[in-house]
Amino acid sequence: MKEQKFLPLTVEEMQERGWDEVDAVCVTGDAYVDHPSFGIAIISRLIESMGFRVAVIAQPNVKNVEEMKRFGRPRLGFFVTAGNIDSMVSNYTAAKRKRSDDAYSPGGKGGGRPDRALTVYCKMIREAYDDVPIIVGGLEASLRRFAHYDYWADKVMPSVLADSGADILIYGMGEHQIIEIVNRLSAGESVSTITDIRGTCIMTSAADIGAGRFPNAVNCASFEKVSTDKLTYAKACRAQMDEQDAVYGKTVLQKHGDKLLVQNPPALPLERDELDKVYAMQFMRMYHPSYEAMGGVPAIEEVEFSIIHNRGCFGACNFCSIASHQGRYVTSRSVDSVVEEAKTLSKSPRFKGYIHDVGGPTANFRYPACGNAKKHGVCKNKKCLAPKPCPSLVANQKEYLGMLRKIRELPGIKKVFIRSGIRFDYLLEDKDESFFKELVEHHISGQLKVAPEHCSPEVLDRMGKPHIETYDRFVKRFYELTKSVGKEQYLVPYLISSHPGSTLLDAVRLAEYMKRNRIRPEQVQDFYPTPMTNATCMYYTGIDPTTMKEVYVARTPEEKAEQRAMLQYFKPENRETVLRVLRKTGRTDLIGDSPKCLIPADRTAKDKKEKDTRKPQVRENAKNGRNTAAAKQRNGKRPTGRYDSNGTKETNGAKRAKRR
């Protein structure tokens, strides 16, 4: 059998293979990691499996155009991605602060990729070779394919296809598109005539509309109109969302000056056997060895011994980009395919016996939400799970559970964890509790992360999430099952502050909910407006594109900070902000010493003059910020140590489980 190697990253590696040229060059904003959780790894190996010579340029030096000439002019063209994450999300926090770290770069250091990497790379390629075919794909391309609001520039920007000068943009999952594009280029067809492939966008002349070339297409308002009129922008977003289904989706058009963006209908999802073949390709499952001296690539740590078993998500939360990229139609690999991958992982010399995850966008989805989806497509403008589960929903986790059981039984596997998202509302709809019980007994490493996101029904409706009563039912049953198996395990709830629809009063209500349920998050996620989500449309326009009704939006840094502080009302440094919010919202009843209060009342002058009876060392520790257990007890606070979301102190066993 032929020895498996990394694809060439340098000219020397190309020459070692006896090549004097390559057919395709894959350019990525990530470090080169040959693992199926990296999109560029799948695309590059797929092109290779078709019999072509493929090389990789990872995180090129953007100050040197010669970087793109490393392997010479590729016979077929360049295939370009900004990486696994949008480059602006990778480079900046929700507060628009520059990040210093990047898990997808060598040593975890930031600065390895430019802002708007896709556009930068394509312009470098055009400068190096003015007529070479350029095909772009990945998350940054997919979610910026139409004119879109850009949070960092705080304006509407044109399609990245117009900005970058690429020939073809692949949106969504790209295997079908890549196979057809590569075959047609290899057959000698000009890239300019490859305009009709599903799951791709191209730019053409705006005059083609008048020529009747797209008789059944859906027309969106032009870039020029959506960039100046927010209502028009919201209507365009709605039109785009309505056509993101492979069964009934139509061609969508959007003018950009004298050019026309053409989005062909979505690509058909891969069938199960096709998905199995993708994951059966031979990956090195590790970063390129040249990064070892730089500290490796941190992103591999979580995925090296994890398995992706599905694609798509019919949960379709409004703040999530999965529905616009992977789609709402769920496909999955066969049980045999997943078990075979688990066997492969168990043979690695680095394997310690623990599978970190068997999941995907949503771990416990294996099939579409209902039997109608394959024939008729997913329902327009409806949610399968929110605010309540659709009556047609088929909630069955039997196959997923059977797969987990088979993996658990493999030699050398000590534990199989589930760390990607569990849809607790879907889980509760399954009348058979077998999966829930075994999840609690076998598949949690001390903590299970779940995403209620908020407690206000109005905010949850804007998020496309179930109301909090569903989460409360899940919490109650989770702890009942945990107790029944004699384990100490906890839930870690994800919460979002400042989501469109959330007012200051909603933030106060969330703080009250957290206080009642003894939830004290160490970190809080501010709403992050990323391209092409429903929630980002709400943030920019103040309009919900699904209802076309106005939505309240917290936009100022001051209010965002106030809403964020309410989610950590218990922190001393947030006291003044919380006090201001409670006064501003008329909720001064939450200031005081009763159990329902969020913060204590100000001490009176008399209280401040009372003699401090604490021991000198305790007073000194408190003065210097050293909160010893004794000092905290004397101050009526908890002793030191980690606490779960229910306020219970962690045991050493739980700590060890988390470290694993």
| Average pLDDT of the chain, as a whole number | 91
Helix, strand and coil content of the chain, in percent to the nearest 5, comes to 40, 15, 50
Query: How confident is the model at residue 629, as a pLDDT?
Result: 38
Same domain, 400 and 480: no
Mean pLDDT of 152-164: 97
Residue in the structure block whose two tokens are 């977003």: 237
> Would you say residue 34 has pLDDT above 80?
yes
Which amino acid would we find at residue 454?
H
pLDDT tens-place string over residues 39-67? 999 999 999 999 999 999 999 999 999 99
pTM listed for this prediction: 0.89
Residues 28 and 176 in one domain: yes
Residues 222, 323, single domain; the answer is no
Query: Token pair of 391, please?
Result: 């009556």
* pLDDT tens digits for range 290-318: 999 999 999 999 999 999 999 999 999 99
**pLDDT value, residue 603:** 55
> Above 50 in pLDDT, residue 334?
yes
Residues 359 and 484 occupy one common structural domain: no
Give the rounded distance of the alpha carbon of 448 from its chain centre.
18
Residue 192 is part of a domain; what is its CATH number?
3.40.50.280
Within a domain: residue 202?
A: yes
Instruction: Check whether residue 575 and residue 631 sit in a common domain.
Output: no
Beta strands 354-355 and 415-416 are: parallel
**Which residues span the domain enclosing 527?**
447-602
User: Are residues 322 and 410 both part of a single domain?
Assistant: yes
Cβ atoms of 94 and 527 within 8 Å: the answer is yes
How much is the pLDDT for 608?
41
413 and 519 inside one domain: no
How far is 44 from 79, CA to CA, in rounded Å?
9
Place of tokens 């000056």: 257
Residue 300 included in any domain? no
Q: What is the mean pLDDT of residues 211-222?
A: 91
Which pLDDT belongs to residue 522? 83
d(CA 605, CA 480): 48
Does residue 273 lie in a domain region?
no
Same domain, 236 and 99: yes
Tokens of 489: 């395990």
Q: What is the pLDDT of residue 541?
A: 98
Q: Is residue 286 part of a domain?
A: no
Top-ranked range on mean pLDDT: pick from 477-491, 513-527, 624-638: 477-491
Give the total residue count for the chain: 660
Position 657 scores a pLDDT of 40
User: In the prediction, which pLDDT does 651 show?
Assistant: 43
- pLDDT over 70, % of the chain: 91
Residue found under tokens 């991958």: 341
Beta bridge partners of 101: 109
Q: What is the mean pLDDT of residues 540-566?
A: 96
Rounded CA-CA distance 660/654 in Å is: 10
Residue 317 lies in a domain: yes
Residues 570-613: pLDDT tens digits?
A: 999 999 999 999 999 999 999 999 999 999 997 543 344 444 44
Please report the DSSP string for 298-343 in residue order.
TTHHHHTTEEE-EE--TT--TT-SHHHHT-SS-EE--HHHHHHHHH
Angle formed by the axes of helices 335-346 and 272-280, to 10°?
10
Run of H or E residues at 437: helix 434-442
**What CA–CA distance (Å, rounded) separates 474 from 425?**
8
What is the rounded distance in angstroms from the CA atom of residue 300 to the CA atom of residue 33? 8
Q: How confident is the model at residue 208 (pLDDT cuts 50, 70, 90)?
A: confident
Residues 125 and 233 in one domain: yes
Residue-level pLDDT at 420: 87
- Three-class DSSP category at 599: strand
d(CA 264, CA 262): 6
- Tens digits of residue pLDDT in 219-270: 999 999 999 999 999 999 999 999 999 999 999 999 999 999 999 999 999 9
What is the predicted pLDDT for the residue at 602?
A: 77
Within this chain, do residues 429 and 504 fall inside the same structural domain, yes or no? no
Is 220 a member of any domain?
Answer: yes
Q: Residues 145, 257: one domain?
A: yes
pLDDT class of 4 with cuts at 50, 70, 90 = confident
Per-residue pLDDT of 649-659, as tens digits, reads 344 444 434 33
* Residue 617, pLDDT score: 52
> Can you tell me whether residue 9 is helix, strand or coil?
coil
Mean pLDDT across 109-132: 97
Percentage of residues in the chain having pLDDT higher than 90:
87
Whether 399 is covered by a domain: the verdict is yes
Coil vs helix vs strand at 78: strand
CA–CA separation, 252 vs 398, rounded Å? Answer: 39
pLDDT at 404 over 60: yes
Q: How many domains does the chain have?
A: 4
- Collapse the DSSP code of 188 into the 3-class scheme (helix H, G, I; strand E, B; otherwise coil) and give the result: coil
Q: Check whether 633 has a pLDDT greater than 80.
A: no
Both 195 and 339 in one domain: the answer is: no
Lowest mean pLDDT among 275-284, 423-432, 492-501, 651-660: 651-660
Q: What is the mean pLDDT of residues 173-197?
A: 98
The answer as to whether 185 is a domain residue is yes
